[in-house]
C-alpha cells in the first residue's frame, strides 16, 4: 500500500514539474490581408563621390515586375551608420509609405586568402559604383527618394528622387 502511494505521489510530482516547465507563451494567429498581385521594383543607380566626400547619384533605370519579396540581401541594414542610404517610397502626396536602409555602396568588403592561406577581409573605398537593388513595391508608391544618413541620429540629406510612371 505504501509503495502504491509513493508511486502515485512520484507520478503527481513529476506531472506537476512537467506542467510547471511547459511554455506559457500565448500564440496569436496574425491574420494579415494578403496582397493581391504583389509587385517588386528593381532600381539601378550610379553612385559617385567627389574629393570632398559628397555623394552624387544618377538614375539609370527601373523595372516593375510581379512577385513577392524575400529579403536575403546583404546590402540592407537595420542599424544605419553615417554614409548609408535611406530609400523611401512616397505616395502621390510625398508621404512616406515605407523605407529601408542600404549600406554605403561605396564601401566594398572583399574577402581573400592571405599568404598564410587564411581568409581575410578588406574594406575598399570606391569613388564610383553602380547600385542595383529590389524592393517590394507598395501600391500607392509614386516616387522613390534616396537620402544619405549624415549623423548618428539618422538625419538625412536628399540625394535623388525618382518618379515612377
Q: What is the pLDDT of residues 54-63, one digit of tens each?
A: 999 999 999 9
3-state secondary structure of 93: coil
Contact 87, 99 (CB under 8 A): yes
Please tell me the predicted confidence (pLDDT) of residue 29.
Answer: 41
What is the C-alpha separation between 6 and 52, in angstroms, rounded? 82
Which CATH number fits the domain 40-163, given the four candidates 3.40.50, 1.10.3720, 2.120.10, 2.60.40? 2.60.40
Sheet holding 128-137, edge to edge: 55-66, 39-49, 128-137
Q: Which residues pair with 102 in a beta bridge?
A: 76, 85
Is 60 exceeded by the pLDDT of residue 118? yes
Question: Confidence class of residue 27 from pLDDT cuts 50, 70 and 90?
Answer: very low
Q: Residue 20: what pLDDT?
A: 60
Domain ranges of the chain: 40-163
Task: Name the one residue in this structure whose C-alpha cell is 491574420.
Answer: 31
Separation of first and last alpha carbons in the chain: 85
Return the pLDDT at 28.
Answer: 38
Residue range 72-90, pLDDT digits in tens:
667 888 889 999 999 999 9
The confidence score (pLDDT) of residue 131 equals 95
Amino acid at each position: 500500500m505504501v509503495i502504491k502511494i509513493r508511486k502515485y505521489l512520484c507520478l503527481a510530482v513529476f506531472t506537476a514539474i512537467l506542467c510547471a516547465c511547459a511554455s506559457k507563451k500565448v500564440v496569436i494567429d496574425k491574420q494579415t490581408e494578403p496582397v493581391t498581385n504583389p509587385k517588386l521594383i528593381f532600381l539601378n543607380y550610379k553612385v559617385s563621390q567627389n574629393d570632398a566626400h559628397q555623394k552624387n547619384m544618377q538614375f539609370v533605370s527601373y523595372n516593375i515586375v510581379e512577385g513577392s519579396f524575400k529579403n536575403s540581401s546583404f546590402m540592407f541594414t537595420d542599424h544605419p551608420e553615417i554614409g548609408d542610404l535611406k530609400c523611401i517610397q512616397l505616395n502621390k502626396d510625398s508621404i512616406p509609405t515605407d523605407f529601408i536602409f542600404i549600406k554605403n555602396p561605396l564601401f566594398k568588403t572583399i574577402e581573400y586568402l592571405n599568404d598564410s592561406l587564411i581568409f581575410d577581409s578588406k574594406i575598399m573605398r570606391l569613388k564610383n559604383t553602380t547600385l542595383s537593388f529590389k524592393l517590394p513595391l507598395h501600391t500607392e508608391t509614386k516616387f522613390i527618394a534616396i537620402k544619405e544618413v549624415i549623423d548618428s541620429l539618422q538625419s538625412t540629406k536628399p540625394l535623388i528622387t525618382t518618379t515612377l510612371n
